[in-house]
């Protein structure tokens, strides 16, 4: 056997070991903390929207009847949910962890197809430790599945397999509607190959229709839900009132996901503009198209930048001389992700509050509860609405109104009230409500995440005088 073939085999062997190590690291970071808050969806409130609907799909009710998101994720969760008598957030998170690890592997493939082993190594390692990608790989929400499908679509586009790339675009849109943005790089990859692009478009439509059929069957309701979600994103969301301008806000979120590797990504983008290789054009077209999608949004959720993470990481690895530097810089997001995982091994404050309510609040007592608190299943709950820019104040956020409605207990957490009190000029009635509770009496129960072994928001339970 020639010396050259031995060298090739050795390099492939080393690359395989590196990929296996990265995937193992990715799995470990994601699985630690994935049971946080169970049996309740305390890691992300969207789990409470998605998992129960996936459970119903698993038990024969195939139409989710809710189209804020398309149906691909719920369809993937449904088979595991069919095994349980009630929605299982633990089983749903197991699927999410696997999707996150698969996203790391897809990034390796994208880097290898685009620029070679160095880009594959940096890209996969960066996604493996990216704080935001890790965090959303622990929860059964749409963003990591969207990112996986987008990354596969880009890899197929770089490989010139346009029809399969089109199918991946359809699946990306079926994971979350903004996945349709991945069509832009497919068009760039297939420019002037009009027949192939037409077939790709047909496969994209077929992929979406097969995995989210009820979005099309109930197009009017789906359009209303989609329009409402996009309108809320454009208007803003509670907690982002003091953010800088949208480009800077999302730049901060991207820094929080990748750390100093983002500097190398920025340099690589400049180099790619100068090089003008085919892979550069495909990847940069996605970055540009997705950035345009983000620009009108005033809701600056960190999860919105997750689809950019694999592309920016691969671009950082496209400069061969910078590969060792990029790998060294990944120690920063790795440390952040380890810290996050360590926090999630603690007990959520809301679980302690749940136990206190069970022991001290009569079962028939009426409780007013803020969003992002406990589900309080089986109890008489007045669920207060979430404040937000342009939303009318909830008139029930008034102690006298609650008393007249028969409410005797009020459950609050810092997840909502801290954000309201950070912008009291925007939410004067809500801020006055929280302050009135604090001035009127001491809470019957109060717990801070600063206590040993605890995590989550602070929790307070007030008893209203009869």
128 touches 25 (CB < 8 A): yes
Q: What is the number of other CB atoms lying within 10 angstroms of the CB of residue 301?
A: 17
Please name every residue paired with 368 in a beta bridge, in sequence order, or none if there are none.
Answer: 382, 410
- Global pTM value: 0.93
Q: What are phi and psi of 446, to 5 degrees?
A: -145, 135
Give residues with Cβ within 8 angstroms of 304, minimum separation 6. Answer: 143, 250, 253, 294, 297
Give residues with Cβ within 8 angstroms of 19, minimum separation 6. Answer: 105, 108, 120, 124
Measured CA distances, 157 to 109, 110, 192, 283 (Å): 12, 10, 14, 9
- C-alpha 278/C-alpha 256 separation (Å) is 29
Nearest CA-CA partner of 168 in 222, 224, 103: 103
Residue by residue, DSSP assigns 385-443 as PPP-TTPPP-TT-SHHHHHHTTEEEEEEEHHHHHHHHTSTTT-HHHHHHHHHHHHH---
- C-alpha 75/C-alpha 30 separation (Å) is 22
pLDDT by residue, tens only, the chain of 466 residues: 444 565 455 556 788 888 999 999 999 999 999 999 999 999 999 999 999 999 999 999 999 999 999 999 999 999 999 999 999 999 999 999 999 999 999 999 999 999 999 999 999 999 999 999 999 999 999 999 999 999 999 999 999 999 999 999 999 999 999 999 999 999 999 999 999 999 999 999 999 999 999 999 999 999 999 999 999 899 989 999 999 999 999 999 999 999 999 999 999 999 999 888 999 999 999 999 999 999 999 999 999 999 999 999 999 999 988 999 999 999 999 999 999 999 999 999 999 999 999 999 999 999 999 988 888 888 999 999 999 998 899 999 999 999 999 999 999 999 999 999 999 999 999 999 998 887 767 899 999 998 899 999 999 999 987 6
- C-alpha 246/C-alpha 234 separation (Å) is 10
Place of tokens 């901060």: 252
- C-alpha 321/C-alpha 318 separation (Å) is 9
Per-domain residue ranges of the chain: 3-343, 347-463
Q: What is the number of other CB atoms lying within 10 angstroms of the CB of residue 101?
A: 25
How long, in residues, is the chain?
Answer: 466
């Amino acid at each position: 056997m020639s010396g050259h073939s031995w060298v090739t085999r050795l390099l492939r062997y080393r690359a395989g070991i590196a990929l296996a190590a990265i995937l193992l690291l990715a799995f470990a970071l994601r699985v630690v903390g994935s049971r946080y808050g169970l049996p309740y969806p305390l890691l992300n409130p969207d789990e409470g929207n998605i998992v129960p609907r996936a459970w119903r799909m698993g038990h024969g009710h195939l139409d989710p009847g809710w189209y804020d998101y398309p149906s691909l994720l719920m369809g993937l969760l449904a088979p595991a949910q069919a095994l349980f008598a009630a929605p299982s957030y633990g089983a749903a998170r197991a699927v999410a962890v696997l999707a996150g690890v698969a996203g790391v592997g897809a990034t390796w493939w994208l880097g290898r197809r685009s620029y070679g082993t160095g880009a594959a190594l940096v890209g996969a390692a960066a996604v493996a430790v990216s704080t935001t990608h890790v965090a959303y790989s622990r929860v059964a929400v749409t963003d990591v599945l969207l990112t996986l499908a987008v990354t596969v679509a880009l890899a197929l586009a770089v490989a010139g397999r346009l029809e399969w790339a089109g199918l991946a675009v359809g699946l990306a849109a079926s994971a979350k509607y903004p996945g349709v943005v991945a069509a832009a790089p497919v068009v760039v990859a297939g420019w002037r190959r009009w027949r192939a692009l037409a077939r790709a478009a047909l496969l994209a439509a077929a992929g979406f229709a097969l995995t989210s059929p009820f979005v099309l069957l109930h197009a009017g309701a789906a359009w209303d839900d989609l329009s409402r979600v996009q309108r809320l994103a454009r208007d803003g969301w509670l907690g982002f009132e003091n953010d800088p301008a949208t480009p800077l806000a999302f730049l901060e979120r991207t820094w929080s996901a990748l750390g100093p590797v983002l500097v190398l990504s920025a340099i690589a983008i400049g180099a790619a503009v100068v090089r003008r290789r085919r892979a550069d054009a495909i990847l940069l077209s996605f970055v540009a198209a997705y950035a345009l999608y983000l620009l009108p949004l005033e809701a600056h959720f960190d999860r919105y930048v997750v689809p950019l993470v694999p592309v920016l990481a691969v671009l950082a690895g496209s400069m061969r001389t910078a590969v060792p530097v990029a790998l060294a810089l990944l120690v920063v997001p790795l440390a952040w992700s380890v810290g996050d995982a360590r926090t999630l091994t603690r007990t959520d404050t809301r679980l302690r509050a749940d136990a206190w309510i069970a022991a001290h609040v009569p079962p028939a007592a009426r409780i007013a509860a803020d969003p992002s608190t406990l589900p309080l299943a089986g109890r008489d709950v007045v669920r207060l609405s979430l404040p937000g820019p342009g939303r009318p104040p909830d008139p029930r956020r008034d102690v006298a109104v609650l008393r007249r409605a028969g409410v005797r207990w009020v459950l609050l957490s810092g997840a909502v009230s801290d954000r309201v009190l950070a912008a009291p000029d925007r939410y004067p009635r809500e801020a006055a409500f929280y302050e009135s509770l604090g001035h009127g009496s001491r809470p019957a129960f109060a717990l801070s995440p600063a206590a040993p072994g605890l995590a989550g928001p602070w929790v307070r339970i007030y008893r209203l005088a009869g």
